[in-house]
Amino acid sequence: MNRFGELKWSVLVVSLSVLAISCGSGDVRCVDSIDCKLGLACRDMKCAAVACQSIDDCDSSLEICVPAGYPGKSGDGRVCTARCSVFNLCPEGWECRGGACVVEGLVDSDVVPDDSGSEDASGLVDVMNDGQRDEGRADTGRDEPTEISQNVDGGSDYSGTLDMWSQDIGPGDGIVWQDGSSCVPDCGDRECGHDPVCGTLDCGTCNEGYSCRDGECLESLCLPDCRGYVCGVDPVCGALKCGSCDEGYSCHDGECVQNACEPDCGTSKCGPDPICGTLNCGSCADHHTCSGGKCVCIPDCTGVECGFDPVCGTLNCGTCGDHHTCYGGKCACIPDCTGVECGFDPVCGTLNCGVCQGTDECVSGDCVWRPENHTVNCSSGMCLIPAGSFWMGCNASVDNECQGDEKPYHKVTLRAYRIDRTEVTQGEYKKCVDAGLCTVPFCKWDPSVASNRPVVCVTWAQADAYCTWIGKRLPTEAEWEKAARGTDGRKFPWGNQSATCDYAVMYNGVNGCGSDETWDVCSKSPVGDSPYGLCDMSGNVWEWVSDWYNSDYYQSSPSSNPAGPVSGPSSVVRGGCYYRNYGQVLRASARSSYLPSDHPGTLGFRCVSDAQ
């Protein structure tokens, strides 16, 4: 025993220890040892038993090295644990003094001085009870700790050296001294956790994501855990998003709770509001439906057969066939009189395309000559040819003698005109000669004997001069042909019967039906007359017309009032004659030509005038 005698300490030093396994079931995580039960220390963010020999073996000055059975538990060796504090309470019957748990009511008088040494109180003291003197500790100005001996919680006596922090224990380090001096907390340069002196003063807290280590805020190494949470962030680290709530719900304490909904139509013009579905944002007009908050038109083709629907104007309700157009949703027929001169149009049957003149009858859109219905209109030596259409050229359906220059068979429309019923006679021509405006023919001129025979041996110019003198003109080739055959496409002026001397003054093996001369005009009338009452349109003499001759003219001839080519070397003659001409040239469509200066004894003429 030293000179102080044997001091018996009744102080039980309690530090927070860590169990040999992690806290409880092993799934408790920690940031610092203060998060663990007494007897456990925080390592790798889990509470576990950590062995130690001295405080230097522990990680933090917030930990102390204590018996493994501390407080009142059985166990061998020593372990690290946090100091006791208001955040880490001692068990019932114990109290926290200077960071250690001691039995309640323990006072300084319970401390027995150590008398095993020979030195006085100012000398060296065997504080660690290791048989050696600890220099520098006798003269501390306070009672130094020595051995402790306390039966704790019915367990075996614990004898050992009080080693709470390190071999260097300074004043105010949280020990309850024999002289009753109190502990003075001191945070020093710490920024977090409890003071290392008394463990009672909170030196500060760290921001989210940081943990306190040895008084310093360091970034946490946290393992997030969403168990029991359906939304929000994990309750362990606050870093992992545990999920989100559906629209209309909010996250409260990890659970989705329905919001108190506030309806809002926003841009919706119809239907329920898109937020709560409770507010009617409006209704749509007829023929409209609500889609996505917008009123959408519903097309409707009911009662409509063409064009776009009358409701929305977007759906094509159908198209019309040929010769029809869409009007007001209905297919309306477009009448067409093309190629039709009379009657109703063949497309729709609604438009009157015209009426026939005179006694012509409308057959399939054409004005057709009906001799039995025709009344000849001839007066003052001229016959009226009504306006209308006829078929010009060779009609192959009744004529097997068609020549190339008579093709194609084509439709021609003419204005109304009047034409001489007979060829100009020598007696009529003599009046112009007597007037000094016509020249005497080149041959067969004997008006005193043959005054009713046609004048012959005249040039084109002489014929034109006479017609001009009398206030008329030479007929066009088309005017001559219509006057000769009418509108029914007949082969000869009298019809389709073959040419004989019954109908014409012609060559029937001998010239002039045996006379070898021309006959008086209208000698074969009325049997040989044309449908309009004209005499000698076939036979007796050829007749000058106003047109120049072109064998291909019909291929490009105008369909209305054709006047012939603009020029040419020869002029057209029509009708045939008495001399050496067979029936082939007497056909109404037959064409021939002479030079304008020619004046044969078989060539005469007749004149026309426009109808008044």
- Give the confidence band of 170 by pLDDT, cuts at 50, 70, 90: very low
The mean per-residue pLDDT over the stretch 165-175 comes to 35
| DSSP state letters, 96-137 | EETTEEEETT--GGGPPPB-S-SS-TTS-B-TTSSSS-BTT-
| DSSP state letters, 334-396 | ----TT--SSB-TTTS-SB-----TT-EEETTEEE--GGG----EETTEEEE-SEEEEES--T
CB 21 within 8 A of CB 48: yes
Location of structure tokens 């280590």 = 213
pLDDT-wise least confident of 206-220, 253-267, 454-468: 206-220
Measured distance CA(601)–CA(306) in Å, rounded: 71
User: Residue 74: its pLDDT value, please?
Assistant: 59
Phi (first) and psi of residue 429, to 5 degrees: -65, -35
Location of structure tokens 């003698």 = 401
Residue 256: DSSP 8-state: E
- Give the confidence band of 373 by pLDDT, cuts at 50, 70, 90: low
Kindly tell me if the per-residue pLDDT of 576 is higher than 80.
yes
Query: In 3D, which of 515, 496, 495, 493 has the Cα closest to residue 505?
Result: 515
β-strand partners of 368: 361
User: Residue 168: its pLDDT value, please?
Assistant: 35
| Cα–chain center distance at 155 | 90
pLDDT-wise least confident of 18-32, 160-174, 553-567, 592-606: 160-174
Average per-residue pLDDT for the chain: 79
User: Residue 89: its pLDDT value, please?
Assistant: 81
Percent of the chain with pLDDT over 90: 43
> Using omega within 30 degrees of 0 as the cis cutoff, is the peptide bond preceding 235 cis?
no
3-state secondary structure labels for all residues of 62-79:
CEEEEECCCCCCCCCCEE
Tokens encoding 83 = 């100091």
Q: Which residue has the higher pLDDT, 322 or 106?
A: 322
Residue 245: DSSP 8-state: P
Q: Which residue has the higher pLDDT, 122 or 551?
A: 551
399-420 pLDDT tens trace = 999 999 999 999 999 999 999 9
- Give the confidence band of 56 by pLDDT, cuts at 50, 70, 90: confident
Measured distance CA(198)–CA(206) in Å, rounded: 20
Element holding 285 (H helix, E strand): none
CB 596 within 8 A of CB 549: no
Measured distance CA(417)–CA(483) in Å, rounded: 10
Kindly tell me if the per-residue pLDDT of 461 is higher than 90.
yes
Measured distance CA(469)–CA(462) in Å, rounded: 11
The mean per-residue pLDDT over the stretch 446-455 comes to 97
User: Residue 128: its pLDDT value, please?
Assistant: 33
Domains of the chain are 1-222 (no CATH), 374-610 (3.90.1580.10)
Q: Which residue has the higher pLDDT, 167 or 105?
A: 105
User: Residue 371: its pLDDT value, please?
Assistant: 65
> Using omega within 30 degrees of 0 as the cis cutoff, is the peptide bond preceding 71 cis?
yes
CB 80 within 8 A of CB 63: yes
Measured distance CA(85)–CA(92) in Å, rounded: 14
Q: Which residue has the higher pLDDT, 41 or 406?
A: 406
Kindly tell me if the per-residue pLDDT of 45 is higher than 50.
yes
Q: Is 258 helix (H, G, I), strand (E, B) or coil?
A: strand
82-104 pLDDT tens trace = 888 767 788 777 787 767 777 77
User: Residue 16: its pLDDT value, please?
Assistant: 31
Element holding 434 (H helix, E strand): helix 426-434
